[in-house]
């Protein structure tokens, strides 16, 4: 099997390079080798490699910046995936694409299921929703994995921000009224590899699936958990255990509005595949172990 991976240097792309390796030959490209803003070059690149599976981990992910760069976000998150989907249909390839909790407006009182109506609150969410639609309308074999609150040892993310802030500052303020599920890039990459295998065994229907860890917390809850673990591991922190103040979204104004409820119901995916998606803390603990080790170097 030949697998073409876009976005190999992103949080998820980095982990996919590992998890996809037992499935076949991987051609992994970064932005320099396949720029989603250059549509003609992208068409040439994709047909040169003629892969059986195309995995798109490239995306415009700067949520606040997208408010002032919506056209660019659409180019990368929707127009480029449309090209991938076109080619996948032509070549009979399977296309894997990733989307986000930010396609929803967060007003539902319970976790979102795959068939709930999207209603993005910000430009990034609109561009990602347009990407989902482009892949679906492309008519190719596809999986769209919606995920949320992604973190990994490779790349920038909230856990790393809190880790650094805790070392530098005595007190922190973190939003407590947005809830969701922190999901590790490792978990996303592992489930993606299993899903590709399941596709070829006719075990997983194509379409949109919610791929997150299990359980729920808030950004405040995740920040407290991170600091607690840092203290437990003996990491020297300026911020003490009770030094995080919970605040409401309005106290931390940002250019892009965020959904209050980012919870995605992952039960359909785990039931269909017959395996279990661990609680969010499982992979956060692994990430913290990695941060502790990198601190020790």
Residues near ligand NAP (CB under 6 A) are 7, 9-13, 30-31, 34-37, 57-61, 76, 98, 100-101, 128, 147-150, 155
Nearer to ligand NAP, 59 or 140 (CB): 59
Nearer to ligand NAP, 59 or 135 (CB): 59
What does the chain come to in residues? 297
How far apart (Å, rounded) are the C-alpha atoms in residues 180 and 170?
Answer: 26
In the complex, the smallest distance separating the C-beta of residue 109 from ligand NAP, rounded to whole angstroms, is 21
Q: How far is the CA of 282 from the CAs of 15, 285, 289, in angstroms?
A: 17, 5, 11
> Residues 60, 87, 112, 124: which is the catalytic one?
124
In the complex, the smallest distance separating the C-beta of residue 180 from ligand NAP, rounded to whole angstroms, is 9
Say if residues 242 and 106 touch (Cβ distance below 8 Å).
Answer: no
Nearer to ligand NAP, 159 or 237 (CB): 159
In the complex, the smallest distance separating the C-beta of residue 237 from ligand NAP, rounded to whole angstroms, is 24
Nearer to ligand NAP, 237 or 258 (CB): 258
In the complex, the smallest distance separating the C-beta of residue 124 from ligand NAP, rounded to whole angstroms, is 8
Say if residues 185 and 230 touch (Cβ distance below 8 Å).
Answer: no
Burial 147-179 (b: 16+ CB within 10 A, else e): bbbbbbbbbebbbbebbebbeeeeebebbbbbb
Say if residues 101 and 112 touch (Cβ distance below 8 Å).
Answer: yes
| Residue 124: active-site member | yes
Which DSSP string do the residues of 120-143 spell out, in sequence order?
-SSHHHHHHHHHHHHHHHTTSEEE
Q: Catalytic residue positions?
A: 124
């Amino acid at each position: 099997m030949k697998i073409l991976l876009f976005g190999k240097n992103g949080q998820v792309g980095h982990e996919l390079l590992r998890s996809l390796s037992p499935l076949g030959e991987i051609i992994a490209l970064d932005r320099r080798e396949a720029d989603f803003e250059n549509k003609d070059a992208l068409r040439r690149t994709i047909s040169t490699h003629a892969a059986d599976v195309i995995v798109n981990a490239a995306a415009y992910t700067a949520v606040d910046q997208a408010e002032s760069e919506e056209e660019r976000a659409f180019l990368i998150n929707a127009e480029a995936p449309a090209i991938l989907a076109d080619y996948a249909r032509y070549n009979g390839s399977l296309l894997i694409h990733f989307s986000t909790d930010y396609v929803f407006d967060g007003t539902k009182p319970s976790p979102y299921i795959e068939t709930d109506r999207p209603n993005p609150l910000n430009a990034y969410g609109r561009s990602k929703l347009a990407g989902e639609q482009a892949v679906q309308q492309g008519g190719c074999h596809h999986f769209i994995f919606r995920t949320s609150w992604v973190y990994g040892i490779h790349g920038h993310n909230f856990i790393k921000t809190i880790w650094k802030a805790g070392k530098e500052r005595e007190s922190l303020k973190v939003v407590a009224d947005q809830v969701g599920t922190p999901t590790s890039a490792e978990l996303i990459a592992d489930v993606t590899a299993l899903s590709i295998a399941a596709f070829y065994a006719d075990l997983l229907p194509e379409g949109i699936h919610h791929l997150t860890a299990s359980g729920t917390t808030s950004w405040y809850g995740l920040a407290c958990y991170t600091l607690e673990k840092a203290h437990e591991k003996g990491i020297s922190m300026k911020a003490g255990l009770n030094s995080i103040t919970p605040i409401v979204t309005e106290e931390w104004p940002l250019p892009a509005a965020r959904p209050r409820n980012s919870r995605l119901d992952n039960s359909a995916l785990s039931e269909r595949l017959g395996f279990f998606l661990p609680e969010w803390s499982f992979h956060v603990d692994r990430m913290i172990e990695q941060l502790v080790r990198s601190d020790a170097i």
